[in-house]
A and B are shown apart, each in its own frame.
Chain A
Amino acid sequence: MSASPVLRASGVTKRFGDLEVLKGIDVELGAHQVVCLIGSSGSGKSTFLRCCNLLERIDGGSITFLDHDLSDPRIDENLVRRHVGMVFQSYNLFPHLSVLDNVTLAPRRVLKVSKDQAESEARDLLTRIGLGTKAAEFPDRLSGGQQQRVAIVRCLAMNPKLLLLDEITSALDPELVGEVLSLVGELADLGMTMLLATHEMGFARDVADQVCFLENGLIVESGTPEKIFGDPDQAATRRFLQRTLDQGGSG
């Protein structure tokens, strides 16, 4: 682990009304590291991810991103989000824009990159993931897997220092999961720093440097994938993994 982490969360709490969703989350993410959050639905994985790009504000504890305290009220959310990309479960591509325009919108409007440069960079990225020929198509002409890969490229076009992936394969047909996960695997190989919530245990085992098991807004156990999947300390972790295995590991 490098000296200065990309993201450091300590004692993060978040409540929606009476419901305490996060009860003190501690996570540290060094450069080029991949951390997987696992746990059943409602355990707080998504909420924690959304706190990391300020879609939600935390109620207690702290999150620092590259040594900046994100809970500081003077923080400009949009400056943070330039460097923190997020991919959603339901892709959330803009349906009225072509694939190319989806990818170039933020670089052009936020980073003020010229149209020509943004488009040529976007085409390069799309070609690299095998969707170069789909640049002019609208999202509804693409399969779910293709849409999700475009959503990932849309984030990459901003050159993020951290990528948040929120159950990005959960809405996909099983046969389309592979293409999305292999793209994420490639990004991991290229050294992208990623924090992801996932139900894909096999994938987490392959790609993660660290796995955190969440239950009821707390990290019950965290460690290397070998440790968590091979010999977890906590009974809760074993129970969760057993349940997941019984269901065929899909989610």
Chain B
Amino acid sequence: MGRNEVTADPVVDEPPISLYASSRPRWTGRRGTIASTVSTVVVIGLVIALLASPSAKPFREGFLNPHQMWIAFTGDPAKGILSVGKGFLLNVYLSVICEAVVLVLALGIAALRLSRGPVLLPLRGIAIAYTDFGRGVPVILVMLWVGFGVPSLNIPVISSQSPVVYAGFVLVFSYTAYVSEVYRAGILSVPANQTQAAKSLALPAGTTLRRVVLPQAIRNVLPALLNDFASLQKDTAIVSTLGVAEAVHSAQIAAGVEFNYSSFTVASLLFLALTVPLTRYTDRIMAKDRTRRLAGIPDTGGIT
């Protein structure tokens, strides 16, 4: 009451307030453009000066030697140097095939973990144990275990596969565990009332999962799925431990023969050429999703 009367009064005693910033104005308009240009030029100049300086010569010679990079990229059969570029094709091939298999298998594991029937109880237990194991044991350990261990068992057919097959199996084994958890989180993120609406329309459980739950679940976890795909692309490098001539192993050979590590730079650039576009794409999807949510578009899934 008293408060209202005070504010209703003309302001007499109150000191005037200032709404102007006490410091310099911010970098806006042309001032901002000039400032960013100058700072960019300065930073790039510093980096070039650093790389070009006489004391950086060992770095240039050892890591960025163009001649060595070319030899590593194309390979040199006379010296026994394998092509990093050719090897990298194997990395791409492995990651694409493995990812396709992982996406299917992981869905099965996720569906199994979320199943309810009493008959499936033991399978649920196995699925849980598997995801714990697959996510908890380092990929390189499983790679060594399978890649060197399985051939030593002398089991017909199984023990006589090429290292690429073992490598593919191990990548699928480890990544299915991760991706199944991503799927599971996605399925659980779909509001229960969506399932209820589907049920009340007499849709069978399978149709509900395929037509109602999964499309929404995958949209919710798409960034996480793409992240795991980028991760899988990188982890194809672990295949080098089995002596498979992929990019990293080929780079190692070149480095050993030439006593120069520019081959690793080549391999790194090749991996970056693949993963950077993918991660940028992921960022864009996430940003789009965020804008959509911030636009205040009502969530039909919300329950009050």
What is the interface of chain A, defined by CB distance below 8 A to chain B? 53, 55, 77-79, 81-82, 84-86, 88-96, 105-106, 109-110, 139-140, 144, 147, 154-155, 158, 170-171
Contacts and interface: CB of A to CB of B under 8 A. Distances in A.
Given A92-B300, A144-B298, A55 B199 contact: yes
Which 9 A-B pairs rank lowest in CB-CB distance, beginning with the nearest? Answer: A92-B197, A81-B202, A106-B201, A86-B200, A82-B202, A140-B297, A78-B202, A96-B215, A110-B202
Contact of A90 (B193, B202, B203): B193
Nearest to A80: B202
Nearest to B297: A140
Given A92-B194, A92-B300, A105 B203 contact: yes
A93 B202 CA distance: 15
Interface in B185-203: 193-194, 196-203
Contact of A109 (B207, B215, B302, B304): B207
A170 B201 CA distance: 21
B300 A88 contact: no
B242 to A, nearest CB: 42
Interface string B189-226: 00001101111111110010001100110010000000
B303 interface: yes
Given A55-B199, A92-B197, 18 more contacts: A77-B199, A78-B204, A85-B201, A88-B200, A92-B196, A92-B300, A92-B301, A94-B194, A94-B197, A95-B216, A95-B300, A105-B203, A106-B203, A109-B211, A110-B202, A110-B204, A110-B207, A155-B201
8 contacts: A79-B202, A82-B202, A90-B304, A106-B201, A106-B203, A110-B203, A140-B298, A155-B201
A81 B200 contact: yes
B202 A106 contact: yes
B300 A139 contact: yes
Given A90-B193, A94-B194, A53 B200 contact: yes
A106 B304 CA distance: 26
A96 B216 contact: yes
A110 B203 CA distance: 6
Contacts of A106: 201-203
Contacts of B303: 89-90
A53 to B, nearest CB: 6
A138 to B, nearest CB: 9
Nearest to A89: B304
Contacts of B199: 55, 77, 81
Given A96-B216, A96-B219, A109-B211, A81 B300 contact: no
A88 B201 contact: no
